[in-house]
Every structure is written in C-alpha cells, then in structure tokens.
Structure 1
Amino acid sequence: MTDDTRLVPPPRELDLASHAFFLDFDGTLAPIVDHPDAVKLAPETAELVQRLADACDGGVAIVTGRALASVRPHLGPLSLVVSGSHGHEIHWPDGPETEAAQAAELDAAFAALDGFASDRGLRIERKPGAVALHYRNAEHHGADARAAVEAAVAGDPDLRAIHGNMVSEAALARAGKGVAVRELLKSAPFRSKTPIMVGDDVTDEDGFRAAADLGGFGLRIGRASTDAAYQVETMDDFFGWLDGLLPPADGKSGSGQEH
C-alpha cells in the first residue's frame, strides 16, 4: 500500500470465535512513552482486550518486540500468550516462569554497539533475541544509529537489522513477528483460526504479511506505507472498532468506555 491509502476500518462483521488476534503492545495497546518502563496500559484497555479474548475463546496474543521481562509487568490483569523479542520468546499463561537465554549470535553486535551507545548517551538494551539502540530522546542520532546497526549485522547471515519507531535493532534473522504468528497458529487456542495482526510500526509489517498469507489480514494504526489490508488513524479508532465488534459488556450496547 502507498502513503495515500485511504484509511478504512476492516469489516465489523467477523465471527470472532473463528479468528485469532495478534496485538502489538507499544503504540497499539498503550501509548508510546520516552522510557519503556514508564508505559501504562489503561484499565479500560485491559478490559477491552479481555473481552476480545473471551469472544475469541482465548485466541488473543501479545506479539511485541519487547523482551518478555519488559512487557509482562505492564499487562496488568491480562493472562494471555505473549511473544517477545520479535518472536524469539513465547510465554504461555499456564507455562513455567522461564525466559529465553540471550542468543550468543548477538554477542558481537552488542560489543560493537555498546561503545557507540555510550559515546552518544543512547540507551542500549540487550534482549534475548535482539540488541536495541533507543534514540527517542536523541533523535539527531537516529541516522547514525540506523547505520551502526546495519554495520553490526553486515555479513552475518544469522542477524538482520530492524528499524522501528525511534529504535534500531540487531535481531536474529530467524525471528520476526510473522514467525511468531505462524508458530502460534500451530497450537490451541489459535489453531485453525483466521489471523488478524494489529500494529503501528514497520516492525509489524512481517506480521501483517503472515496474517494475509494465512487467509487473514493486517490492521495498521497510523498513516504510513504498509502491507496491512486496513488502516485506522489512531489507537482510539482501533479501540472503537474493536469495541463495536464485541458483544455488549454487562448487557449494554458497547462498553461505554472512552479511550
């Protein structure tokens, strides 16, 4: 799709029990903030997602570039499948409290990027499946950060560069949100369901493509060139669309909540 794509909501007439939703976190369920630890999932958003999970017979997962350790403390009462580090980590609600070990393939990239980050006062994050350079508070370093990540992965077939919203990452080539979507669809409660991937960033694009390849669709939040079949302008537009899909809460028409 191109930048002049008309923003349109996906169809509201969906048999939710036959669909599975894969939801990005930052910029999709919670507003993007300057520091990842300061993110807040609004209680009404958590309630909306729980209603969706109930309607989909549990077929809702969080699929994020964050490490599991970085996202799970912010999910509040939600007990969902969570895929972290661009698909490298997956946690099941009834599974053990374990996290993936840091991939040794990333050691050299971390060593190369650590000094770059230190010299420029950037935040570097070592995830199990990626090394992330954050430059939200130093946008003037964005082009250099992207170039540094590209250089760190150059010539290494096990790694690839992922550039997102004010972050660039050296990530495992075998990981990705599309990989996560495909892997989760092999198991209950996602098996045999039609996938819907929702996100707001370029890091969600392979998830959109995977959903389309498997008979579903992607929904991207915000104006951007995208492979998603549908776009909406804002998070609130997405919440409103989602609320309209769901059975009334407490016997009322819609949730009556504002986002």
Structure 2
Amino acid sequence: MSAADDAIARLAASSRLLVALDFDGTLSPLEDEPMDARMLPAARVAIDALLAAPETVVAFVSGRSLVDLRVIAEHDDGAGVWLAGSHGAEFWIPGEGLVSHGEDQGAAALRDALRAHAERATAHLDGVWIEPKTFGFGVHTRRADAADAEEANRLVDAIVAEEAPQWRRRTGHNIVEFAFRHEGKDSAVAELRERVGATAVLFAGDDVTDEDAIASLGAGDVGVRVGDGPSAAAVRVPDIAALAALLARLARERTRALG
C-alpha cells in the first residue's frame, strides 16, 4: 500500500475530519497578478465533494488577507468552506462570519508607514509590487528580474530591520511577507482543529510557510506536499490536478465509509 493509499484509508475512517488547504499553488496556479488566482475546475469539484461528505469540514488556510482570499476563492456568505486568512490571524466561519484576533491601532499605523516607505524605496525597480495586507505587507517579485528582486528584498529588509525588528518575516514563491502579528499556519490549523472538533486533519500546501502546518500535524494526521521542495509531508503529489484527484478519492471513500 502506498503512502497515499494508507493516508486515504485512515482519514476516510476518521469520525470528524478537517481538510485544511493552502490556496495559491495548491488549489490555484500561481499568477503574476495575484488577484487573478482562481481554483482549477477539478479542484473545485473535489472541494464540493468533500463538503458533501459526512462529518467533513473544509478550510482554506492562506497568507492572504481575508478580504482578498474571499475574492480569489469566490467565497460568498452562503459558502460552507471555512477560511483562515493572514496566516491564521483572521477567520471566516460559516454561519458566523468574520472572527479576527484584533488590530492594534499603533501597529496598524506603523504598518501603513512601513508599507509607504517600502513602496517609495522600490518604486524604481521594474516588476516589484508591494501588496497591502491586514497585518503587514508583502514584497512581490514574480515579474522582476533576479537583480531587481534581490535589490527590492535587500531594501525592504533594511527598512523593517531598522523600524520594526520585532515583525515576523516569511518567504514564499517570489514573495517576502512582513507582519506585526506572529500567527502561522500551524496555529491556524490548531485553532481550526479545536473549533470543529476534528479527530484527524489533512493539510496540503506547496510553499515554505505551509511547512509550519505540516510539521505541526499529529500521528493521526496527514500532510501533503504539492510539487517539489523539501517537506515533512508523508504524501507528495506533483501538481494541483493530482491533489484534486486525491481529494476527490478521499471524498468518495469517506462517503462510502460513513455514509
């Protein structure tokens, strides 16, 4: 039995399953314009099948601000998918709506000042974009050449080191994020697990920040890495289509086992 076969068999039998998924690069291809990201059709079909399966909760766990995550996930107030935005500092709960861990006015003012400083410092670099986030900002370099990307990150690193050395720094695919809150995807999954009463968790992701969540999983849980790169995940799939197939199979097996 393969690692994927074993994982599906165990998760299918769990009495209350949380399926927590990164969005960009996991359900949606990475886009040069981040707000253009949308789930692949096969991924959406698999998500719908999981939502219909017995005792199964689906959540998207993202570094995106909750407002942006709702746009790219095409998520409305009637959606059944839970959301954890800003690496777990913001949640959207079906039937309840927004739950935030709060925003400190002084920290928010510093956020705005630093973001403006970063924008001015990198304005001369082609292809560099500063993304506003609820609790900080991100430095996007997907459309920049290597030299400009390196220079943008150097400049902004220096700004944050001088003006907000206590902020958390995260790296991802062609992005460096800075935030005054320190939640991570590990704490997001832990909070979701507690809120839904999950007896097992599947978490899937494709990037460095997803490894925080994967490394935090327990013995009865399953981590899935989408694509290449070092990972603590027990299961690896090559791309979004393969993850969608795995999730659809899990939905079928849970429905068969618990239906």
| Identical pairs, percent | 29
Distance verdict in 2 for CA 1:81–1:135, change over 3 Å = same
The residue that corresponds to 1:88 in the other structure is 89
Of 38-47 and 217-226, more deviation after overlay is shown by 38-47
The structure-2 alpha-carbon separation of the partners of 1:46 and 1:109, relative to structure 1 and needing over 3 Å to count, comes to same
1:218 equivalent to 2:219? Answer no
Give the Cα–Cα distance (whole angstroms) in 2 for the partners of residues 192 and 75 of structure 1: 23
Residue number in structure 1 paired with 2:244: 239
Q: Which runs of 5+ in 1 are unaligned?
A: 1-6, 252-259
Aligned to 2:150: 143
Deviation at 1:19, TM superposition (A): 2.3
Distance in 1, matches of 2:242 and 2:42, equals 15
Give the secondary structure class of the aligned counterpart of 1:126. Answer: strand
Cα drift, residue 26 of structure 1: 0.8
Give the C-alpha shift of residue 98 in structure 1.
Answer: 7.5
Q: CA RMSD in A?
A: 2.9
What's the offset of the Cα at 1:186?
1.9
Aligned to 1:168: 176
Residue 23 and residue 111 in structure 1: after superposition, are their counterparts in 2 closer, same or farther (change >3 A)?
same
**Is the CA contact (8 Å cut-off) linking 1:194 and 1:215 kept in structure 2?**
yes
Runs of 4+ aligned structure 1 residues displaced above 6 Å come to: 248-251
Deviation at 1:247, TM superposition (A): 1.8
Q: SS at the partner of 2:88?
A: coil
CA distance in structure 2 between the aligned counterparts of 1:179 and 1:112, rounded to whole angstroms? 30
Contact 2:20–2:201 under 8 Å retained in 1: yes
Q: Deviations over 1:56-105 (max 9, x none)?
A: 52421100011111121232364311011111111112224687658525
Indicate the larger mover: 72-81 or 83-92. Answer: 72-81
Q: Does 51-60 or 238-247 show the bigger shift? A: 51-60
Counterpart amino acid of residue 12 in structure 1: I
Q: Is the 8 A contact 1:149 1:161 kept in 2?
A: no
Residue aligning to 2:51: 53
Q: Which has the higher contact order (CA 8 A, sep 6+)?
A: 2
Inter-partner Cα distance in structure 1 for 2:59 and 2:159 = 31
Aligned equivalents of 1:56, 1:32: Cα separation in 2: 31
User: TM-score, with normalisation over the residues of structure 2?
Assistant: 0.81
Partner residue, 2:189: 181
Q: Report the Cα distance in structure 2 between the residues aligned to 1:209 and 1:243, rounded to whole angstroms.
A: 24
Corresponding pairs, count: 242
Structure 2: runs of 5+ lacking an equivalent? none
Are the structure 2 counterparts of residues 124 and 249 from structure 1 closer, same or farther at C-alpha, using a change threshold of 3 Å?
same
Q: TM-score, normalised by structure 1?
A: 0.81
| Aligned partner of residue 114 in structure 1, secondary structure | helix
Q: 1:170 to 1:133 in 2, by over 3 A?
A: same
Q: How does 1:94-105 map to 2 (within 5 A)?
A: 94-96=95-97, 103-104=107-108
Contact 2:7 2:222 in 1 (8 A): no
**Superposition map of 1:87-126 within 5 A:** 87-96=88-97, 103-104=107-108, 106-121=111-126, 122-126=128-132
Alpha-carbon deviations, 1:2-56, whole Å to 9, x = none? xxxxx96362212254321110001111111110121222344223112113325
* 1:180 Cα deviation after fit: 0.7
Q: Which among 146, 159, 166 is matched to residue 167 of structure 2?
A: 159
